[in-house]
Amino acid sequence: MPKILQALGMAKCIGCYSCMLACARYNYRSYSPKHSAMQVKTQGGIQGRFVADICRACVDAPCVRACPADALVQRRGGGALLVKEKCIGCEQCVPACPVQVVYWDGIQRTPIVCRHCGLCVVYCPHGCLEMAVTS
C-alpha cells in the first residue's frame, strides 16, 4: 500500500530542521534546507508554533498536468515523481501546485517535489511527522 507524508504532530516541533536536512541531503545531495521538499516554518513569529509545508499528495496532481515534458508523473497513492532526465526547466509545475510546495532548484534547473519516501519521518526526533496509508 502506498503511503503519504502527514504532519499531524507539529505541536511537538522544536524547529530543529532535522527532517529538512535529511530530505535535502538524501534526496537532493544538498546540505541546505532550501533543497528540502518539505519546509518547516514558524507561524506567528518567534513566539509562534511551527508548521510544515508538505505535499498533500493530490490524486490528480496539477503539477503533473502542468508539465509539458512529462517529467512529473503521477505517483501511485497521490503526489508526483520527477523523471529528471525529461525536465526541460520550464518551471510550469511550480505555480500549478495548489498548496505551493513545489520548489525550484535554480542550480539543477529542476523542481523539488516530495517523493513521500519517509526519510523526514525517520529523522524527526519528536515524532511530528508520520507516513499514512492512502485509501
50 and 85 share one domain: no
Helix H or strand E segment including 36: none
Report pLDDT digits (tens) over 1-43. 799 999 999 999 999 999 999 999 999 999 999 999 999 999 8
Residues 93 and 66 in one domain: yes
Distance, in Å, from the CA atom of 3 to the CA atom of 121, rounded to the nearest integer, reads 12
Say if residue 95 is in the same domain as residue 49: no
pTM: 0.90
Looking at residue 80, its pLDDT comes to 97
Which grid cell sits at 42? 514558524
Residue 46 reports pLDDT greater than 80: no
Task: State the residue range of the domain holding 15.
Answer: 1-54+116-135
Buried b (16+ CB within 10 A) or exposed e, 81-108: bbeeeebeeebbbbebbeeebbbeeeee
For position 124, which CATH number holds?
3.30.70.20
CB distance 126 to 9 below 8 Å? yes
